[in-house]
Every structure is written in structure tokens, then in C-alpha cells.
Chain A
């Protein structure tokens, strides 16, 4: 599936829920699908410190695609990063750099990406794009 096909599927899933509490139950449920970062990678370099909840993120470049593992100490944040990682993992650096994550506002979660949010999510998205950019330029220079 393309990044956008995955996003459209998520949007469709969430159309089932009109109540915020049900939406959040679904988000928390999605957190259970997050490929968890290996404990040994939970080091300061991989920590994206929000004001309140923390996110650990570890990238891996394999066969031309980028794969992410992650974790958070807050379970709603974990659900949100699970959706992001699910949408972006397994795609090429070019696709990730170019990706427009429209599913977030479509689900009504745009406030989680506004700069005043303290969950580290915006910083995580920036970090994901930076990793992809780094892999992209490394590939261009002929490095593995």
C-alpha cells in the first residue's frame, strides 16, 4: 500500500467513531501494533523529549526502505506514533520526505501537531523526516 492508501484506510476506520472517547479507545488500541523499540536503543540520542510525554524513535534502512521502531511513556502518544510509524514505515526515503500526513487533521487530531503541544509528536515527525532526508542524501552520495 502507498502512504496515502494507508492514510485513507485510517480515516475510514475512524469514521466509525463519533464520540471522542471511542476515538481515543481506538487510538490506544492502535498503540498495541507499534513495533517497539529495543530496550537497548532507549538511549538519550533516540529520545524525543516532549514537555510531558517522551518518545523514543529508532530508524533502520533496509533494502531501500526506512523502518521505524518507537515507544512512548504515555499510551495515547503511543497510539498516535503507532499510526504515524504504520503509515511511513517501509517506504523509501523519497516517499517519506514528500509525505503529507493529511490523516491527522482528517481524524480531528490536528491539535496534536500544533507547536504548543507537549507530547513530542511534532518533534517526532520532524525527526522521521530528517532521518529519511539523511538516508536520501547518503544514497545520492553512493554510500550504503
Chain B
């Protein structure tokens, strides 16, 4: 397997060579969003300069070119996640949008009073609130797979939770605040044994390791373009065609219709049925380019590099006096959540920022996780393949300096 030439790769990401407060940027907030390679930036500019036009209905050349580029991006996504057909790929605004779509369309058709939706204790708010909303509307209840103090799901409780009232399981593949990689194969197989479909939130997964939706046999899978080195505002919902054909549309509007009269509208076929209005064409084209970039590097190589970085970080950070790691799953992604003694995460984040080090602090949109651990939030460093061990050394030194100031 080819080793990554980090020096060369970093040159693809212009922002990585900028300075903040006069210090070289150390960007360790990749779980929030990733930086964009120049290949993606050029693609966006090229789209707007050379063939910007609205898709699908135009007879003129530019519209045909824009449509071709947009549909080409859909094919790239389909290949990237191993979808059987590109019609199973719906472009959305992002992970949150995709979950809202499924919660709304699936919930309206299948949730009855007394039914339940099963999620996990480590979900992002975006995989809690849409389900709470539809549950409230339909008189259904939200149930939770619990986790242990290491941030690992208590899978032994799953068979008991998967009763006949559960109509769908919606689970994060990788926890954004703990880094835990969940045993999704096991969850899917247990749910399917009871004919319950599963949605996977892959927002923190697709950028780290290869995913094959057919091998997973997952019913729905959602992720965001901007965490995959693509633009913001574009995301993907994958759904098995049998499900997507079965569900009612989410939003009405242009492009999602076949015919409209005031008496009756006939909906369009997949994937257009779920893409009302002018889509984020440049975003899709940019995402396609980001997928090209990732594919060329190779997700196996990326995983190897990020595993090396997170192991290095865990080892080096463990020597910081008073450090406590939140989330200690064995199978983990390149996210490290931590606290230093009783220092408030906000204070530490502020002082790291002034040293040029960007991490995230707070509850990471997982308040129930923070409540479980009885903490206001954590400091979270998250690594991408373009990060270096030197940057981790700067993080460790930065934490020590900040802690010295904050602990007087």
C-alpha cells in the first residue's frame, strides 16, 4: 500500500498554508468540516465560468452540459458507495436534510400510534430531533440503544429493544463526539431478521474508510459533501430503490413531477421524485471531484494514515497531566475528545485558537452524550489524512501552555 506523501498532499489544500494570529494554521477540526483541495475549488470555478445553467429541462447546449455534469456526479457517488444503481442516489443539502427526508417520508407512511423508532445513545442531534418531530406527529415513541462508559453501544440489549413495535432503526456509523465506530453489520442483520429497515448516518464514516452499501445491505445511508473534502450545501441520501419507490415525496416543486394539473400531480421517477427545485448543481459537481480526489488517494491508504495519526495523538496526549479521554472505544475513528482536569473546554479552545490551533469545543451537537458523562462538553481534536505528527506535537505543547495559564 502506498504511503501518503503528506508534504505534497498539503500543497493541494491552499488553506493549510495560511496563518492565523500570525501563526501557521494547525487545523484539527476535520470532523466539523474538511478543507477543500484545489482540484475541487477549480472545478467549482470551472462550472460557473464555463457551463453554469439549469439542469434537466433545457434544450440548449449549456443546460445539456450542466445536466451531464450533475448526473455524472451522481454516478461517481453511486460507484463510491457501491450502490446498485445511480437512481438510488438522491442529492440533498447534507446529512441533516437526508435524515429529515427519511424521517418525514417514512414516518408519514409507516409510523402508527404506539410504534417506535430506535436510535442510539450517541446520536448527533440531527439523528434525534427529526425522529422526535415525526414521532410526536404520529404518536410514536423514540427508543434508545444505551452505551457504556467507554462510549461503546450495549449490543446485548439490542435483541430486547428490537420488538414488533420498532418500525425503523436509525444509527450513526461513527460517533462525532466519541469517535466510536459502531458494529453496524450486527445491528443491520439483527434488525433485518425482524424485517426492520435501518438508516445509517455515515457523516463521520465515508471520509475515513471504504463503504459498500450492498455489502452492508443497509436500507438508507446519508452523508455530507463538506466532510468529504467537497463543498458545503450538498449531501447524499442513498436508499434501496425498493424503499425510495415506495415512500411518498418529501417536498413538492419543480423537477419532482411528471405532470401537474390543478386536480392531480403525477410524481417523477427516481431520483427526481426526491429532488424538488433547482438542486445544488455546482455542489454536486464539486462533490464528484472530491470523490475523484479521495478515490485517487485511496480510502485504505487514508485509513492507514489516519489510524497512525490518532494512535500517535492518543499516546502523546496521554502524557499531559490531568487529561481524561471521553470515548475509549477500541474501534475508533480519528476523533479524540478530552478534558484537562476541571478546565472548561471553552477556555482551552480559546487559548488554543490564539496559538493558531483550531479544535472544537462544546457538546458537539450531542447533548445527551455530555449528559451521560456528566460534563458540559469536551475539547475535540479530529484528524484528516493531511495532518501531520508535527501538528499533533504543536497541539500537545499548546494544551500544556494553555493549561498552565488556566490553572494559574
Residues of A within 8 A of B (CB): 20-21, 24-25, 28, 51-53, 73-77, 118-119
| CB-based closest 6 A-B pairs | A74-B344, A20-B354, A52-B346, A74-B346, A52-B362, A53-B346
| Residues of B contacting A28 in the complex (Cβ-Cβ under 8 angstroms) | 405-406, 408
User: Which of B346, B377, B406, B408 has the most chain A CB atoms closer than 10 A to its own CB?
Assistant: B346
- Sample (20) of A-B pairs whose CB atoms are under 8 Å apart: A20-B355, A21-B351, A21-B405, A24-B350, A28-B406, A51-B362, A51-B363, A52-B345, A52-B346, A52-B361, A52-B362, A52-B376, A74-B347, A75-B347, A76-B346, A76-B350, A77-B346, A77-B347, A118-B346, A118-B362
Q: Is B21 an interface residue (CB 8 A)?
A: yes
List residues of chain B with CB within 8 A of the CB of A75: 344, 347, 406
CB of B401 closer than 8 Å to a CB of A: yes
A29 nearest CB across to chain B (Å): 9
Separation of A28 and B346 alpha carbons in the complex (Å): 13
**Residues of chain B within 8 A of A52, CB atoms compared:** 345-346, 361-363, 376-377
**A73, A76, A77, A119 — most chain B CB neighbours (10 Å):** A76
CB within 8 Å of A: which B364-408 residues: 376-377, 401, 405-406, 408
Q: Which residues of B contact A73 (CB under 8 A)?
A: 344, 376
How many whole Å from B361's CB to the nearest CB in chain A? Answer: 6
The complex places the Cα of A77 from the Cα of B348 at a distance, in Å, of 12
CA distance A119 to B401 in the complex (A): 22
- Measured CB to CB, the closest approach of chain A to B110, in angstroms, equals 35
Contact size class for B? Answer: 10 to 19
User: Which single residue of chain A is at the shortest CB-CB distance from B361?
Assistant: A52
The residue from B347, B361, B401 contacting A21, defined by CB atoms under 8 A apart: B401
Looking at chain B's contact residues, is the secondary structure mostly helix, strand, loop, or mixed? mixed
By beta carbon, the residue of chain B nearest A119 is B346
Which residues of A lie under 8 Å from residue B408 when comparing CB positions? 28
User: Whole-angstrom distance from the CB of A25 to the nearest CB of chain B?
Assistant: 6
In angstroms, Cα B31 to Cα A28, docked, is 30
Alpha-carbon separation in the docked complex, A25 to B347 (Å): 11
In the assembled complex, the CB of B326 is this many whole angstroms from the nearest CB of chain A, namely 15
CB-CB under 8 A from B361, the residues of chain A are 52
Complex alpha-carbon distance, A73 and B344, angstroms: 7
Question: Residues of A contacting B21 with CB < 8 Å?
Answer: 20
Chain A nearest CB from B96 CB (Å) reads 17
Q: Which of B347, B355, B363 contacts A76 (CB 8 A)?
A: B347
Nearest A residue to B365, CB-CB? A51
Contact A21 B346 (CB under 8 A): no
Chain B residue nearest to A79 (CB atoms) is B347
Tell me the B74-98 residues at the A interface (CB within 8 Å).
Answer: none
Q: Say how far A142's CB is from chain B's closest CB, in angstroms.
A: 43
Q: Which residues of B contact A76 (CB under 8 A)?
A: 346-347, 350-351
Closest A residue by C-beta to B345: A52
For the complex formed, measure the closest distance between the CB of B345 and the CB atoms of chain A, giving whole angstroms.
7
Kindly report which residue of chain B lies nearest to residue A25, judged by CB atoms: B405
Cβ–Cβ contact B354 & A21, under 8 A = yes
Whole-angstrom CA separation of A115 from B351 in the bound complex = 20
Using CB atoms, name the residue of chain A closest to B356: A20
Find the A residue at minimum CB distance from B350: A76
Q: How far is the CB of A46 from chain B (nearest CB, A)?
A: 18
Which chain A residues border B354 with CB–CB below 8 Å?
20-21, 24
* Cα A20 to Cα B405 with chains together (Å): 12
CB distance from B37 to the nearest CB of A (A): 26
Contact of B351 (CB < 8 Å), options: A24, A53, A77, A119: A24
What are the residues of chain A within 8 A of B346 when measuring CB–CB?
Answer: 52-53, 74, 76-77, 118-119
B residues 334-351 near A (Cβ < 8 Å) are 344-347, 350-351
How far is A51 from B350 in the complex, measured between Cα atoms in Å?
Answer: 14
Question: Could you list 13 further interchain pairs (A-B, Cβ under 8 angstroms) beyond the known A20-B355, A53-B346, A118-B346?
Answer: A21-B405, A28-B405, A28-B406, A51-B362, A52-B346, A52-B362, A52-B377, A53-B347, A53-B376, A73-B344, A74-B346, A75-B347, A75-B406
